[in-house]
Amino acid sequence: MNEKTTSPEAEAKKSGPSPFKFLSTATGPQWVALDRPSVGDPKILADHETTKQRFERQLTDVLLAENLVILTGLGTSMCVKGDDGKPLAPTMQDLWDASKARAGTDFDAVKVKVNYTEATENIEFLLSRCQMAEKLKSDSVVKTFVEETEKLIVEKCRFLKDGLSLSVHEAFLRKVARRSTRLPRAKLFTTNYDLCFETAASKTRFVVTDGFSHSEPQEFDGSYFNYDFVRRHPDRETPDYIPNVFHLYKLHGSLDWQQSGTQIFKVRGATKPLIIYPRESKFESSYDQPFLEMMAAFQAALRQPNTGLLVIGFGFGDHHIAQPIASAIRSNVGLKAMVVSPSLESLPRSSIKDIADLISAGDTRLSLLATDFEKLVELTPDLIAATEEESHQGRIRRVEGRR
């Protein structure tokens, strides 16, 4: 995050259950709660039902657009919880606390050495200061702190374990990535390093196109995004596109990416994952491969006519990502967008304010939903029926789960 605030997900984590409110031209200039009213007044209940139907219609319009673009941030990983019911994915505050505990007495020394005088506890600001200080004059204490903190970030983001439920991610993919094969594949962009979407795709038998080869070793080449999957029938001359395929673009890298010279490979348990660490040089790093390929695809996708954009759990703090969205909203009249995050009402970010202002001015393409990933998935309709193969695999999993 670049703002001097905690993330919306961290705020939601502190404050308990997230709100459930909607803002669009259908609600007027005010946010409207979508929770069912407890009062029995027929008019209030009818108004609520009408608003909820309008929300469902706008979400459906986004999902049924010819080109579907999804951007996810930390908020989509917060639903993965441990045995204690707490989220396993680390927030920026979690990383600050953990780095402070690991550094011990050196933590305050590092802050002094890099002249960190911010009133807020922001790990991104601190690492940025360390990076600038190292460029001016190398210091062993600062260098060790950066190395240990980067290791810590990787450790904290490797929270997926065997048997951990990803039911929300699985349901999400079944609802948004299962599209008509006559339409372009859904494009899912994420700033998360973790492997939630890849793992959920494997469990639900979805095919992921992520820019890596399907032969070992899996090597990155952006041209793989132009490939597709077809099924050949022995009694037909023309092959069919297979369903349940989506494109995955990891804008900040992944825990299973590893660089060797100029080549990038997918390696489970990569010793030094290729990721963009939280610091202000994110924008600069996004011009290196394969991040340049990912960002170019993101910007191109937002410029396409008849595009639906669904933004989930992204705090709009990364300007190199937020700016293409703002630009597309201004210039692409064929873009329909819905932004979903628990604390949208209180986000002090210009991108969200601009969207809210456009809604107030009568822009029917845009809407804001203040809720979390789990609630969104619950509300998202099944627009395409499951294939017979999916239904069969589901039955097998249910039977095996009882054993």
- When pLDDT is cut at 50, 70 and 90, the band that residue 390 belongs to is low
- Classify residue 234 by its DSSP letter: T
- When pLDDT is cut at 50, 70 and 90, the band that residue 58 belongs to is very high
Other Cβ atoms within 10 Å of 400 Cβ, number? 8
How far is 283 from 276, CA to CA, in rounded Å?
10
How far is 47 from 53, CA to CA, in rounded Å?
10
Burial class (CB within 10 angstroms; exposed 0-12, middle 13-18, buried 19+) of 7: buried
Q: Which two tokens stand for residue 286?
A: 């996004």
How far is 21 from 130, CA to CA, in rounded Å?
40
Rounded to two decimals, the pTM is: 0.89
Per-residue pLDDT of 282-321, as tens digits, reads 767 777 889 999 999 999 999 999 999 999 999 898 888 9
The CATH H-level superfamily of 8-85+164-392 is TPP-binding domain (3.40.50.1220)
CA torsion sign, 290 to 291 to 294 to 299? negative
Q: Which helix (H) or strand (E) holds 400?
A: helix 388-402
Q: Which residues contact 304 (CB under 8 A, 6 or more apart)?
A: 66, 67, 332, 334
Strands (E) located in 52-185: 67-72
Burial class (CB within 10 angstroms; exposed 0-12, middle 13-18, buried 19+) of 121: middle
What percent of the chain is modeled with pLDDT above 70?
88
**Do β-strands 186-190 and 67-72 pair in parallel, antiparallel, or remain unpaired?**
parallel
Q: Are 7 and 74 in contact (CB under 8 A)?
A: yes
Hey, where are the domains in the chain? Answer: 8-85+164-392, 92-157
Q: What is the pLDDT of residue 334?
A: 96
Query: Residues 193, 166, 293, 255: what is their CA dihedral angle, to the nearest 10 degrees?
Result: 30
Averaged pLDDT for residues 260-289? 86
Q: Are 87 and 56 in contact (CB under 8 A)?
A: no
Q: Above 90 in pLDDT, residue 369?
A: yes
Per-residue pLDDT of 210-247, as tens digits, reads 999 988 999 999 999 999 999 888 877 777 899 999 99
